[in-house]
Amino acid sequence: MRRWLLLIAACASPVCLAVGQADSVQADRVVLVYGKADGDVPGWAVLADKLSGWTADCCMYARAIGVNLVMYQGEWTGKPEQVIVLNVWPAKLHSLNDEVVADRKKYLQRDPGARSKLFRIPHAKMTCDAIAYEGTDHFDDVVVFCDPGRTTGIRLSWSMTLAAGDPQRRALLDGFMKVAANASYMSREGDHRSRDGQRGAGKHSAP
């Protein structure tokens, strides 16, 4: 099943959209995505590899589909296949496992015949769990959920949709996993919104 339907539905609430107001700074091989403080959620930043030959976008196509970052090859087609997606949201559920369970429930409600498989992603700085879906429409999805820690106030996911018979499948999955496994969370120190609405200026800091 093409996953953007789930992402758009998940980001329909004002809280998710508020945290989703992200900007990015790009270098040759990395991209830095950051979001402003919102209520009890501190300012945040995510540093990720940008695959060679790929384009990273946070401010046009990503915002159009309600996510924080998209990475794609060639021209933007508006289709979810072969697009790496970063989504960041305020942590509301008790655990990372609860996030995975909730995602699986939504997916199977839309595609009851789909198959899914859970697996752990080794990550030096965050706890990350992944789930792979095989859709009955012959489109598969892989999603990596990560928890940078309770004090950050957020959780994040990386996802990608692939056609079941995509000849580039192995290379695309390898690139996707490289991005997800190497991404880093950084706090934006001093970037906080107080109860009177004032926000301090921040700087990036790794936990």
Give a yes or no: residue 81 inside a domain: yes
What is the pLDDT at residue 120? 86
Q: What angle do CA 25, 29, 30 make, to 5 degrees?
A: 40
SS3 content of the chain, % helix, strand, coil (to 5): 25, 40, 35
What is the pLDDT at residue 133? 96
CA distance 75 to 179: 20
Give a yes or no: residue 194 inside a domain: no
Give a yes or no: residue 199 inside a domain: no
Give a yes or no: residue 155 inside a domain: yes
CB contact set of 190 (below 8 Å; sequence gap of 6+): 200, 201, 202, 203
Tally of domains in the chain: 1
Q: Are 20 and 85 in contact (CB under 8 A)?
A: no
Give a yes or no: residue 197 inside a domain: no
| Alpha-helical segments (H) within the chain | 4-10, 14-19, 61-64, 96-110, 169-182
Give a yes or no: residue 35 inside a domain: yes
- The sign of the CA dihedral 97, 103, 106, 110 is negative
Domain harbouring 8, CATH code:
3.40.1000.10
Give a yes or no: residue 15 inside a domain: yes
Q: Measured between alpha carbons, how far is residue 188 from residues 7, 36, 105, 197 in Å?
A: 25, 8, 33, 17
Instruction: Name 139's bridge partners.
Output: 163
CA distance 139 to 132: 11
Q: What is the pTM of this model?
A: 0.82
Domain interval for residue 116: 4-187
One digit per residue, the tens of pLDDT, for the chain of length 207 reads 555 545 544 443 323 333 344 555 554 688 989 888 888 889 999 999 999 999 999 889 998 999 999 999 999 999 999 999 999 999 999 999 999 999 999 999 999 999 999 988 888 889 999 999 999 999 999 999 999 999 999 999 999 999 999 999 999 999 999 999 999 998 865 554 433 333 344 455 555
What is the pLDDT at residue 205? 55
What is the pLDDT at residue 187? 81
Give a yes or no: residue 23 inside a domain: yes
3-state secondary structure of 143: strand
